[in-house]
Structure 1
Amino acid sequence: MRGKRVTARGLLIAATCVVSLLGACALAWWQWTRFSSASGTWQNLGYVLQWPLFGLFPAFMVWRVRRLKQRERTEVRAEPAATPVKPVAPVVVHEDDDELTAYNRYLAELNAKDQA
């Protein structure tokens, strides 16, 4: 965390994550009381397990976005000057099967476009 500054945006994101987790835990508790009551069903127990996952999702997304940005920064720094071009595979001609030959030519064209 060296060199990281605390910004208003960062605090807002952290507060959103905490509020979503607390709200989801409150909803899980409510579903637990519904499950424990006489009219409770197994569906309520499923919601008890599901709500905390919903509450953790914003924190997971923040972690995932930060990780992707960090990976992108390291790839930009480590990018080589020139990437080698793969040679194009030759088209195999099948004398007895015109459809297969045409399909192989089509695949070779797609590969050439992809390499360009």
Structure 2
Amino acid sequence: MLRRFRFALRPGWLALHVLCLALIVTMILLGRWQLHVSESKHFSIQNFGYALQWWAFSLFVLLMWGRVMRDTAHRNDRVTGRAPAEPPPPSDEPVAYRRYVMPTAPQAPLDAEQAAYNDYLARLAAKDEEA
């Protein structure tokens, strides 16, 4: 398990860990500050909402950090040829890929009203070309 995440000890990854940790701590503290402002205003719902928003941002950073780590470990497993931790579920039915083919059937014949309108448009276009 720990071998999969050995890449996370490289300097670039360590900088990412420090950045994520700094963001999470900062946003938690900003949320606490907004909560304090809310309490000083006798429970301002706006500031309370901002506090919740800061905490939601910190959760988002934590989740994205975990997802980036997991995806990179999975990508490294595929490159090195190691079996992934969880094999994908077996597929009962192969996926059918088909190339799109443009229909070649002739169009339906025009009715009299539509043919007259097309002739009118053609005469207008011809008149515009003359001018």
Which TM-score band applies after superposition, normalised by the shorter structure?
Answer: 0.5 to 0.7
TM-score where L is the length of structure 2: 0.52
Match 1:34 to one of 34, 37, 54 = 37
Q: What does residue 95 of structure 1 align with?
A: 109
Structure 2 unmatched runs, 5+: 82-96, 115-131
Query: CA contact under 8 A between 1:24 and 1:54: conserved in structure 2?
Result: yes
Q: Deviations over 1:47-104 (max 9, x none)?
A: 1110022233444444444538946x85xx9xxxxxx651504144121277xxxxxx
In 1, Cα distance between the equivalents of 2:62 and 2:41? Answer: 35
Q: Which amino acid counterpart does residue 24 of structure 1 have in structure 2?
A: M
The share of aligned pairs that are identical, in percent, is 28
Structure 1 unmatched runs, 5+: 78-83, 99-116
- The two structures, once aligned, show a CA RMSD in angstroms of 3.3
Superposition deviation, residue 24 in structure 1 = 0.3
**4+ residue runs over 6 A deviation:** none
Q: 1:69 to 1:96 in 2, by over 3 A?
A: farther
Match 1:53 to one of 56, 73, 77 = 56
| Aligned positions, number | 90
Q: What does residue 86 of structure 1 align with?
A: 99
Superposition deviation, residue 17 in structure 1 = 0.4
In 2, Cα distance between the equivalents of 1:58 and 1:38? Answer: 29
TM-score where L is the length of structure 1: 0.58
